[in-house]
Structures are given as C-alpha cells and as structure tokens.
Chains A and B, each alone.
Chain A
Amino acid sequence: MLKALFQILIFPGVLFLFVFGLCGEFIDRKLCARFQNRIGPPWFQPLADFIKLVSKEEIIPEEADIKVFKLMPVLALTASSVSILYIPTLAERSAFSFNGDVIVVLYLLTLPTFTYFLGGWYSRGVYSMIGAVRSLTQLFAYEVPLFLVILASALLADTWSLSGMVAFYSRHLGYWFCNIIGFGVALICFLGKLEKVPFDIPEAETEIVAGSFTEYNGRLLALIRTSFNIEMIVGASLLAAVFLPFGLNLWPALIFPFYLLQVLFIIVIITFLRLLFARLRLDQMISFCWRFLAPLAFLQVILNLIFKAVLPR
C-alpha cells in the first residue's frame, strides 16, 4: 500500500513527472532560443511561470459551465500522470505492468485531448470553441497512424504489455531496426498530440488567440501547462520504451540514466522538428496524416507481419 502510494505520488508518479516536465520545458525553450541566436530563458523560468500562475487571481467566464471548466484541467493532469505507471522507467518491468497495458497507456494519453476539447467548449468563448473543435478534428488525423505503429511494434514482440515489449527488444537489439519507419511516423504524430508546430493548429496564436485555453487563467492554466509538460514526458517515455529499448538489459544502476537520456533525446528531436517547420492548415494536416502517415503505418504493420514469420525468435 505504502509502496503503491510512493509510486503514484513521488516516483515515477506526479512529483518526478512534474520536475522532469519542467526540465523538459526548459530544454525545449532554451534550445529554441539558441537556434534563433538568443540567450534564452534562465533555468528557473518554467518554475517561475508555474508559481506565478498558481498565485494569480482566478477569473471564470460568466457563461462558462463552472464545473466542467474547473474539472477538465485536473482530469487532464490525472490522466497524463497516471499513464507513467505502466511504462518501464526504473527496471525492465514497470510499476503496475500487465498484459494489455499498451492499450491502457494509449487510451490514457488520448484523454487529455478530450479534456481540452470539453474545457474549451464549455468556456463558451468563440476562440476557445474553435480551438476545441480543431483539437478534436486533429485528434482523428494523428491518432490512427500513432496507434498503428505502436501496435505494429507490439505485433513483432508478440505481447501486449510494454514491459514485455521492452524485454523482447532488449533481448533482440537488431529487431529495433525493423521499426524504424514506425519510429518516424510516431514522432510526427507525437507533434500533433503535443500541439506543437507544425501541428499547433488548435492553439494557433496568430489566428485564434490561444485555442481552447483562451479563457483559462491562474491556477487552471498552470494545471494545463503542467499536464502538457507531463504529456510530453510520458509520450517520450512511451516512444522510448517502444522504439528505443536500448540499455534496459544493462546493469540495473544504468537503466535509469539511460531512460533519462532516451527521453531527452526524443524531446530534442521534437524541438528540432518544431523549429524546422511552419504551421500547416487544418486540411493540409489531415490530408498529410491520411495520405502519408497512415499508409506508412500500414506498411509497418505488413512489414512486421513478414518479419515475424521470417526472423528467428
């Protein structure tokens, strides 16, 4: 009981994710600044933003549905931080692993998007409603290829648990190479999930102010920002566990540093990608996802079926 509480609240649960999320945000912003030849924010910037937002006055729009408006950020934070419990961080097995936890993690990572939709919709601002609808529309575009490639990887490993997949791929290091297309597709879809450039259509600042979060302020905005950070960390851990399983069969003390390195590696790649591109239009994004990403994901599934039949296990 105590152990479970520790795992949920401290490591690898909320506290660890919160701190790691702040570090991730800092790395993202600092790299972005360095790419633009700037000095960039100091190391405590995300923390200062968080404390400031928490201590600000809270304004709730008159027409908003107060209950939904207040509940949604909390729900987003909960959903995104619970999913880390099924991803291996400290050892080859995750804290609460069971056969089928891939699906639970994917489901839990979808929940925040729905909460952003509901929160935006029930704040009843024009901009937040447009942003909410856009984030839901975008969801249908990136979710399918993302699920397909992760499930393709599970297919090759012949297991539905993340820990099992990690164990399989760290025993057969070469098999990592089979999933290389899937890794690329998953990275691009992940940009859509985090609503980053080029897929930041739901919160396009120059068009619709701040999307679903236009009406949020103070504590609730701080929760939303935190849940975005945590989503980034959890998503990166998921990609690391599925596609980069190096190091988990190493000496036990090395597993955790290796895990951190892998997550940071994915965050850096995502920052590169977001700085390289400009924002797409919603229809361009959807046609890109369905025309290129989804066929590639299908190709990955077919390839993995062939590999499974041909390669020795």
Chain B
Amino acid sequence: MAQLLRRIKEFLGRIPLLAYLLGFLAATGVEIVAGQAFGLLIGLGGVPAFFGVTAALSRLNMDGGLGGLLLSIPSMLLYIVPALVYDVVIYGLPTLLVGRVLAKPVRWFTSTLPEWLTGLVHMVTLFLSMWVWGGLVGYRLLVVMYIGVNIIMASSLNLINGYMGEFSCGHAGFMAVGAYVSSLLTVWLFTQDDVFGAPVLGAGWSIILFPLILIVGGIAAGIAGLLVAFPSFKTRGDYLAIVTISVNFIIKSAIENIEKIGGPRGFMGMKGVLRTMTSVINVPWLLIWTFIGVLITLVVIHNFVSSTKGKGVVAIREDEIAAELMSVNTRHTKVLAFTISSFFAGVAGGLFAHVLGYINPSTFTIFKSTEALVMVYLGGMGSLTGSVLSAGIFTVAMEALRPLEVWKKVLVWLMLILLMMYRREGIMGGKELTDFISLERLGLRRPAKEVKGYAPAAD
C-alpha cells in the first residue's frame, strides 16, 4: 500500500504544473464536446455545475425533519456514484493523460524561456482553462470570480493579521469603501442611471478606465485604512481589534446614511457597466480583471514582505519594542502595512460589486470581515499560498454546500472550531507551498545547471 502511494506520488510529481494546467484545459475541451452526452448517458441529466457536489447535496431532503433527511441519503449516494465516474472520466483521466504526455515537452519548452515568461505562460493557461470551464455553466464563472475576490481579501488581511500580528476584524469596511467608490464612478461615467442621468463618457472609455477606477476605489480604501493605522501607534492587540470593528461599523453606517447612493437600500447599475464594456469588445472583462487583480495582489504583498523594508512588518509582530529600538521605523511601517492591506480590500470590493451587480451596506458587515478572517486562519498566518488555497476551499465550500441551507453555516463554523482546536497553524502552518514542492519541480524555475532533463526527484 505504502509502495503504491509512493509510486503514485512519484508519477504525479513528475508532471510539471504547466502540463497539469494544459491537461485541465484539455479536460474542459472534452467536457464541451462530450460532457452533456456523457452526463445524460450515466444519468446525471447533463453537465454537473460543480463536479456533482452541489447536485448530490441537493438530493438531501432538508425540510422533512430527521427522518426525511435520513431517507434521502440513499438518493444522494445514488447520485454520487455516477458523479464520481463523470469527474474521473471527464476531468481526471484527460488531465493526467495529457499531463503525462506533455510532461517532457513542457519541461523542455519552459527551459528555453526566461523565468518571467514561463510564469506568464502559466497564467495565460490557467486563465484560459478557467474561462473555458466557467463558460460552460455561467454559475461556475461566478464562483471563480468569488474565489478571486476572496484571494485578494484573504491575502491582504494576512498582511495585517499574519505578517504583522495585529488582529484586524474590520476588513469588510475597506472593501465597502472600494465597492462604493468604484461602483459610483463606473455607473456615473458609463451608464444611463436614475441618480446620475446619462453616461458622461463614451462607451469606449469604459474598458480603459475600468481598471483605473478599481485603483481609485483601492486608494479611497487605503486612505480609510489610516483610520486604523493611526490608532495602531498608541494601542495594539485586543484594543486595536476593537478599533477595527468600530471602523467597520462607522463605514457601514456612513454609507447607510447617504440617501443619494441608496442608503440602506443599496446601489445598483453595475451590470449596465459590464454591458457597456462588452458592447465595445466582447470578452469576459470581469474575469480578466479579477485574474490580474489577484496576480498583482500576490506579487505586491510577496515582494513587499520579502524585502528588508517589508520585513519590518514581521519584526513588529515578533517584538515591536525591539523593532523600534533596532532602527525599524515602526510607525511608518504600520502606515504602509495598513494602507497596502486596505487598498487591496478596496480593489476586492470594486471587483465584488461588479461581479454581484448590486451592493448594499449590510453586505459589508463584520460577518463579511469574519469570513476574511476565517480564510486567513484556515490557510495559515503569514502564508500567502495558504491564503490562496483557503480562499479557494472556503469559497467552493460555501457554494457547494448551499443545498444544506442553514446547516451549511453550522458545518463551516464547526470546521473552524475543529481547526482551532487541532491545527491552529492552519493548512500551511506558516509555510509556503513552495517549501514543500520546489519551484524547480513545479517547472516554474529552471533546475540548477548541472542537472539535465528532469528536475531532481528529491525535494
């Protein structure tokens, strides 16, 4: 058994990341061609939206009391079997097969490219596979974009809670600032709206200005971040946590009290913005910008915290007084950390608002902040790859478990309790994914000069 597992691990380890991505892209191709027919054939009634998980869970009878629930379990199991067959045949086999076949050529191909170009090729492939996979069922695309938004939320909050060791629980407040500022701008500039009237600029501007407006939303949120940064000079720990909660409430109430932008009823019109954008060039703009937004967030935070300047943030977590006495300008560093963190929360908010098409103040309460917290702790404090993983897992779980209705929440929070009891350090335990699987093995970095062909097998 152990022997078998090792062989499997070895087999999977030989395939570079890019080959997996290409394999998955091929699998989505298979799904487009054969998914519908195959799904009907094995009794799934078509293409399952979410690997069959949601559909399987929706077989459960949630309204018939305990008896009803128990009686509905066989029907769920009956669905799971063909769903598994579907996943293996449509996704698993093509991915592994194509991945295995392409492993060698891919290693050769990437070895001829400079590293940044290799990275870009990975990104484009990942984007294409998400686009194709998501394009087949509209709901998937939505979930992919939620994941993106949540990755930005989790990794930006990680800068404060993980790297700097402060406990911020008001991240959604900054998200709200970004969401409202960017939505108001896009709706005012590019759509016919009850509040703002006719569009101010021609449709062509929308595709150019959209990313800039996201940045403006981020900047507004970054400025709001100073509401926490300045108090952080004087107070820390639990007390600063209270400050962040208050800031979250202040922002929410402030928006609620501005009648012009809908007050508590909320604000909409962002779907119109997207229609304007696609009317100019018909590509999935939001997916593109979410994708780029995630990339930029990760690169910025990673580069910042690995610079000597940014490591000042970690020194503050480890011993703030020693940091200040050992030449770290702690105030400056805190302002930087809070501004960068809330800037990205604002960008996430802008994307989120346009994905949803409608926002209202109660979207951005402390509950939303808590979700971001959960993702940070689930992934592991001070681990960016952990935040990426946990944002993916958390978002998918929240969507896939929807059929469980109220029980979904119970289950998710129960998981959190267990996590805090048995693995407080989170999935990654403060390490990065690259500490377990080397970049060379993933095929993202060229192996050292002496080694020819495959990357060395030992990590």
Tell me whether A and B are bound partners.
Answer: no
